[in-house]
Amino acid sequence: MSTAMPAQISLADVDVSFGSKTVLSGLNFEVFKGEVISIVGASGCGKTTSLRLLAGLLAPSGGSVSFEGKPVRGPRRETAIVFQDYGKALLPWRTAEGNVSLALEVMGVPGPERRSRISELLALTGLAGHHDKYPAQMSGGMQQRLQIARALAQDPAVLLMDEPFGALDAMTRQSLQDELLDLSARTGVTIYFVTHDLEEAIYLSDRIIGLLPNPGRIGRIFDVPLPRPRDQLITKEDRSFLALRHELYDFVKGSEH
């Protein structure tokens, strides 16, 4: 990313504490428009907290978070979230169609257009033919895809995703990774992606933030020099992919002590 471009999201000296516990400390980074940025780190090091900060669901205890130059005061519709606990984030009394419709209703999309958008989004997330299923009738993977469909219905400028593919089988996971890259290339949506899976982080990202725990802070920011479009086989056999995987592995391993 060129440094001449102004950042879309920037964090300056951000601290987050809950009571006396400091969860995130001295975060400084910028996210650029259209970028895919992943965040990795040990469990409990504050990845979800950082995402909530960017979403405006959480105010920093110190420092500032800004979106397009203006301080973030609360959630905005152009920022969509795919929550980690998909089971709680869907409306159990609405069908797949109804859950996607929720975002469109709130945005005031008129009925007929809503229907075609819903079909489009459900097809995009591989849920075509499951319009009338309730979340309780869907597998974890399907529920997560439904959450993604609803997030995309917001037509977001920034997509915040919290371990979105953690519950999926390898095949579904790979195809959704490719769908996501395709989406990012087509729409230019910025993606902030929390994951435990280092290969996934490398495969998707332009940059990877490595968090250190206790308190959560930035250990290193890794650049991903791999060309786009990426390919599940070719990219993952690239020498720089393997080298980066090694580096990231050492980083996360080292941070656990």
Task: Check: CB of residue 211 under 8 Å from CB of residue 191.
Answer: no
Is residue 57 a contact residue for another protein (CB under 8 A)?
yes
Q: How far is the CB of 68 from Mg ion (least distance, A)?
A: 26
CA torsion angle for 74, 80, 82, 86 (degrees, to 10)?
Answer: 70
The smaller minimum CB distance to ligand ATP, of residues 49 and 79, is found at: 49
Q: Contact with ligand ATP (CB under 6 A): which of 5, 13, 44, 243?
A: 44
Residue span 46-65 as binding mask against Mg ion, x where in contact by CB under 5 A, dash where not: --x-----------------
Task: Check: CB of residue 73 under 8 Å from CB of residue 243.
Answer: no
In this structure, is the dihedral angle defined by the CA atoms of residues 201, 44, 161 and 222, taken in order, positive or negative? negative
Distance of alpha carbon 215 from alpha carbon 219, whole angstroms: 11
Is residue 42 a contact residue for another protein (CB under 8 A)?
no
Which range touches ligand ATP (CB under 6 A), out of 47-55, 137-145, 174-182, 235-243? 47-55
Residue 224 identity: V
Angle at 214 between CA 213 and CA 219, to 5 degrees: 40
Is residue 20 a contact residue for ligand ATP (CB under 6 A)?
no
Q: Contact with another protein (CB under 8 A): which of 68, 131, 134, 166?
A: 134
Is residue 89 a contact residue for another protein (CB under 8 A)?
yes
E strands, the chain, in order: 9-18, 21-31, 36-40, 62-67, 70-71, 79-82, 158-162, 190-194, 207-212, 217-223
Out of ligand ATP, Mg ion, another protein, none, which partner does residue 29 contact, by CB within 5 to 8 A per kind? none
Q: Contact with another protein (CB under 8 A): which of 24, 45, 65, 103?
A: 103
Report the length, in residues, of the chain.
257
Which range touches ligand ATP (CB under 6 A), out of 39-47, 65-73, 107-115, 126-134? 39-47
What residues line the site for Mg ion (CB under 5 A)?
48
